[in-house]
Amino acid sequence: MVGMKDDMGGAAGLLGAFLATVTSGAAGPEFPLHCILCLAENAVGPHATRPDDIHTMYSGKTVEINNTDAEGRLVLADGVAYAIKHLSPAFLLDMATLTGAAGIVTGAKIGAMYANTDDIEAFGSAAGKTSGDLLHPVPYVPEFYRPEYKSPVADMKNLMANTRNAGVSCGGQFIANHMADFVDGDGQWMHVDMGFPVAHDDHRATGYGVGLLMALFTDLNASATF
């Protein structure tokens, strides 16, 4: 786990964006904004996740652990399921340093976006250009990615079978698997994978996501989309 200090970059970026948006007045009664932080201690111990464990998630789905390094998605999936159940959002965004594949797909300076509607994808791209926290979409084709998680003993595994197959999209799809009624219905959702732009080459944090999300929330509020 050496070098993983910035694995909390998604939560940090969301907290910064939430604070900036609320204090600036960009959120309000007509555009209520909620922030859920999915926080966990990642350490070796008697209660650590083990290979072949089966977890029952907050969504009610069961997950077979076939890779203990794909751990962040477990708490993230619980977070989005909690948000849907308790907040009934029209739009849901999650952001995390979810995959190493993101650096291959969009490079070291650009975040990757997995979104379930063209409108939300367009808002994300525009906010990236406005803020300088650039964001680029990856393919959203759930029917291609769901089979990657097939498990003989649970609803899904936590890492796809073919790790060379669209890693960013598959990572996002794992999250979507826990919110199927939302993403397949009227809900609009964006997953931001910022595993590489989270840090500079010297491993110092960049603050990626704060400007991006503040620009996004401001644009969504002004558009009266929700």
Would you say residue 44 lies in a domain? no
Q: What is the pLDDT of residue 55?
A: 98
- The vertex-182 CA angle with 181 and 184, nearest 5°, equals 65
Structurally, the chain folds into a number of domains equal to 1
Would you say residue 16 lies in a domain? yes
Would you say residue 39 lies in a domain? no
Would you say residue 37 lies in a domain? no
Range(s) of the domain holding residue 119: 5-28+53-223
> Which amino acid appears at position 125 of this protein?
S
Cβ-based neighbours of 45, under 8 Å, separated by 6 or more? none
Would you say residue 136 lies in a domain? yes
Axis crossing angle, helix 167-176 with helix 72-87, rounded to the nearest 10: 40
| Residues in the chain with pLDDT values less than 50 | none
| Phi, psi (rounded to 5 degrees) for 215 | -65, -40
Identify the CA nearest to 21 among candidates 178, 217, 223: 217
In the numeric block, the tokens 């190493």 are attached to 100
Instruction: Give the integer Cα–Cα distance in Å for 210 and 136.
Output: 16
Start-to-end Cα distance in the chain: 40
Write the DSSP assignment of the chain as a string of letters: -TT-GGGGHHHHHHHHHHHHHHHHT-SBTTB-------------STTS--TT-EEE-TTS-EEE-S-TT--HHHHHHHHHHHHHHHH--SEEEEEE---SHHHHHH-SS-EEEEESSHHHHHHHHHHHHHHS--EEE----HHHHGGGG--SSSSEESS-S-TTS-HHHHHHHHHHTT-HHHHTTT-EEEEEE-TTTTB-TTS-B--TTHHHHHHHHHHHHHHT--
Would you say residue 33 lies in a domain? no
Would you say residue 45 lies in a domain? no
215: domain CATH number is 3.40.630.10
Q: What is the pLDDT of residue 172?
A: 98
Would you say residue 194 lies in a domain? yes
Question: 53-67: per-residue pLDDT in tens?
Answer: 999 999 999 999 999
Instruction: Give the integer Cα–Cα distance in Å for 55 and 159.
Output: 14
Instruction: Give the integer Cα–Cα distance in Å for 160 and 134.
Output: 27
Identify the CA nearest to 94 among candidates 116, 61, 110, 126: 116
The token pair at 125 is 């791209």
